[in-house]
Amino acid sequence: MKKIEIAPSILSADFRILEREVKAAQDAGADRIHCDVMDGRFVPNISFGPLVVEAVKKCVSIPLDVHIMISDPVKYAADFCSAGADVLCFHAEALNNVNEIKTLLNDIRSKGARPGVAVNPDKSIDLFMSELASIDQVVIMSVYAGFGGQKFIVDTMEKVRAVRSAAVKQNLDIDIEVDGGVNGETAELCAKAGANVLVAGSFVFGSGDYAGRINAVRESANKAYIGD
Ligand code: DX5
Ligand code: ZN
């Protein structure tokens, strides 16, 4: 059974002291650092690009979980692999068809990162389910991509259940990550549905007690985790 992993998102960190922030998250027990890349086109917000990912990579030893919310992931995926992404997830709905998705997954893997696919709450997992065997991580967005601090959309857990059940049927070792609005209460719903990686941005970095918040997410998830 996969263990629950907690991935604090630096979107809610204090960028004046980013090195201290990511090191503190690592010391507080984070399993990964989640990097939210936004281009102002795919989502109505701009965050940061490969330079910041590269800088964060130099600060921590835990894996970087890079989530690219950009309209042209094909063009920029290689830059994020070079910057040190361990897992690189792009949005299925940013591409035109399943062949493009498949090609990009293979491309990311060939550049040394574990490839993943994300979907917004209003988009179907059918965009990529035929390619599950080539996907290392599915990211089910539990808020609309673009901003931290939004409210968790419970209905999205249906997609987590569907992906987990397909993965079990096909005997695939897939990480299912839930991203958005995860806290000490909603983590339980994610784990119950079959997720094993939980992103928590504002809940962790918006607090004065990173270890306390990471533990709260982990404990809530472990209460309900069904495994794979
Ligand atoms: C939303 C991002 C999330 C977000 C999580 O576009 O992908 O990773 O920052 O932040 P919280 O945990 O505050 O919802
Ligand atoms: Zn994210």
- Specify the residue with its C-alpha closest to ligand 1, atom 9: 148
Determine how many CB atoms are found less than 10 A away from the CB of residue 228. Answer: 18
User: Which residues are near ligand 2, the ion (C-beta closer than 5 Å)?
Assistant: 36, 67, 179
For residues 89, 95, 98, 104, the Cα torsion angle rounded to the nearest 10 degrees is -50
Q: Per-residue DSSP letters for 88-125?
A: EEEEGGGSSSHHHHHHHHHHHHHTTSEEEEEE-TTS-G
Atom of ligand 1 nearest to the CA of 146: 6
Q: pLDDT for 8-49, tens place per residue?
A: 999 999 999 999 999 999 999 999 999 999 999 999 999 999
For residues 217 and 100, give the distance between their C-alpha atoms in angstroms, rounded to a whole number: 35
Q: Tens digits of per-residue pLDDT, 90-135?
A: 999 999 999 999 999 999 999 999 999 999 999 999 999 999 999 9
**Ligand 2: centre distance to CA 152 (Å):** 13
Distance of CA 101 from the midpoint of ligand 2 (Å): 19
Whose atoms come closest to the Cα of 147: which ligand?
Answer: 1
